[in-house]
Amino acid sequence: MPSVLVIGGGVSGLQAAADLARLGCSVHLVEKEGSLGGRPVQAKFYRLIPDLRRASEVIDPLIESVVSQERISLSLSSRVTQVSESPEGFRSTIEGGSQGKTVMVEAILVTTGYEHFDPTLKQEYGYGIYPDVITTPQLEAMLHPEGPTGGEVRRPSNGEIPQRVALFQCVGSRDEQVGNRYCCKLGCITSTKQAIEIKERHPEAEVYIHYMDIRTVGLGWEELYWKAQEVYRIHYLRGRGAEILPRAGRLQIRAEDTLLNRPLQREVDLVVLAVGMRPGEGTRQAARLLDLPVGAYGFLSPADSLLRPLDLPRAGVFAAGAALGPKDIETCIAEGSAAAARAMAFLMGKE
């Protein structure tokens, strides 16, 4: 029975591990956190794009497909600390949990996911200084019925329901000042989804989205964008937010309306920063451990971005999901299955 190591228990890793086990492999799944599911579970995602189904309807079956599979050995709160290669495969040391262990595997999948951009690096927005400046993950947790506010949107400063909410796009994305020129792909549609959810809970609230360009590239995304405008009357203003300042118990936002070519000021109760995606520490650690190349922004570089986009330059090592760049959940799941298939082809010598 061939053996495979999967590093990372997010949606890509879960799908890959389940597929490999179904195909007869012995799988060692290592997750640094104490639970499976990755960022959607850690950040308490509630509803997913584009159809707004509950995240639990997607994540829970993935987790169940892994924990119920006898061929999968789980190591939670653990890390792979050493890998050495021999003709037999990869001898891998796993540390954490109750005890460490060493396993011999014939292939490795890196599904280490991503981290959110640190908004304190954009000092003009006052994140960490003004309590009513929050991030999209924080708003996502608020929207969850089991979140800190029981599913309602509340101002952290006083617990009141905000009457005006502004969402700033591209915080840490498409920004040369912080060294990230790439688009995070999900900021526009995530803020659109969240704006709809705000209006569903609090119809009287005014919601403004300040954007550079609206990029709704997935199927069903453009329809959600138009629905936000036509049904929920959400205001879209073209121009990056410039500054946030306190003003008499509220927040004054300064921005530019590039369509009307004029500066804009408005007082709001809550500002939500759509923080971008960047490589996680798990990805950086895997790159060092396995001697893998990374691109300009720190994501893993595939052997060939067109012909072998999930193969890494080291034979027998593959990747999927946000370890390779910003991805939505749908793509991460698909790539998990695809990477499992690539690993099986390698194991069966069918390259």
- Strand ranges for 164-303 from DSSP E: 164-171, 206-211, 235-238, 241-247, 250-257, 262-268, 270-275, 277-279
Region 246-266: what's the mean pLDDT? 93
Residue 128 to residue 130: CA distance in whole angstroms: 6
Residue 268 to residue 160: CA distance in whole angstroms: 13
What is residue 98's predicted lDDT score, i.e. its pLDDT? 67
Spell out a b/e string for 224-263, using b for 16 or more CB atoms within 10 Å of the CB, else e.
Answer: bbeebeeebebebbbbbbbebeeeeebbebebbeeeeeee
pLDDT, tens digit, for every residue of 68-123?
999 999 999 999 999 999 999 999 999 996 678 999 999 999 999 999 999 999 99
Torsion-angle region of 185 (φ positive above 0: left; ψ -120 to 50: alpha; else: beta)? left
pLDDT, tens digit, for every residue of 129-186?
999 999 999 999 999 999 999 999 999 999 999 999 999 999 999 999 999 999 999 9
Region 205-226: what's the mean pLDDT? 96
Residue 326 to residue 158: CA distance in whole angstroms: 35
Residue 317 to residue 310: CA distance in whole angstroms: 9
The whole-angstrom distance between residue 128's C-alpha and the CA centroid of its chain comes to 21
Residue 172: C-alpha distances to residues 67, 88, 114, 233, 284 (Å):
36, 43, 14, 27, 19
Residue 213 to residue 103: CA distance in whole angstroms: 48
Report the amino acid identity of residue 248. Answer: A
Residue 159 to residue 200: CA distance in whole angstroms: 19
Residue 76 to residue 74: CA distance in whole angstroms: 6
Residue 292 to residue 193: CA distance in whole angstroms: 36
As given in the structure block, the two tokens for residue 350 are 């069918």
pLDDT at 14 over 70: yes
What is residue 182's predicted lDDT score, i.e. its pLDDT? 96
How many other CB atoms are found less than 10 A from the CB of residue 112?
32
Average pLDDT, the chain: 96
Residue 341 to residue 335: CA distance in whole angstroms: 10
What is residue 351's predicted lDDT score, i.e. its pLDDT? 46
Residues 253/241, Cβ–Cβ less than 8 Å: yes
Q: Does domain 3-113+280-347 have CATH number 3.50.50.60?
A: yes
Residues 237/209, Cβ–Cβ less than 8 Å: yes
Torsion-angle region of 298 (φ positive above 0: left; ψ -120 to 50: alpha; else: beta)? left
pLDDT, tens digit, for every residue of 281-304?
999 999 999 999 999 999 999 999
Residue 326 to residue 216: CA distance in whole angstroms: 14
Residues 166/133, Cβ–Cβ less than 8 Å: no
| Domain spans in the chain, listed from the N-terminal domain onward | 3-113+280-347, 117-276
What is residue 260's predicted lDDT score, i.e. its pLDDT? 86
Residue 342: C-alpha distances to residues 117, 178, 181, 246, 320 (Å):
31, 35, 30, 53, 11
- How confident is residue 350, by pLDDT bands cut at 50, 70 and 90? very low
Region 126-130: what's the mean pLDDT? 97
As given in the structure block, the two tokens for residue 280 are 């996680």
Which of 3.40.50.300, 3.50.50.60, 3.40.30.10, 3.30.1330.10 is the CATH number of 117-276?
Answer: 3.50.50.60
Region 308-327: what's the mean pLDDT? 98
**Nearest to 344, CA basis, from 52, 24, 18, 12:** 24
What is residue 60's predicted lDDT score, i.e. its pLDDT? 97
Residue 91: C-alpha distances to residues 211, 236, 290 (Å):
48, 53, 12
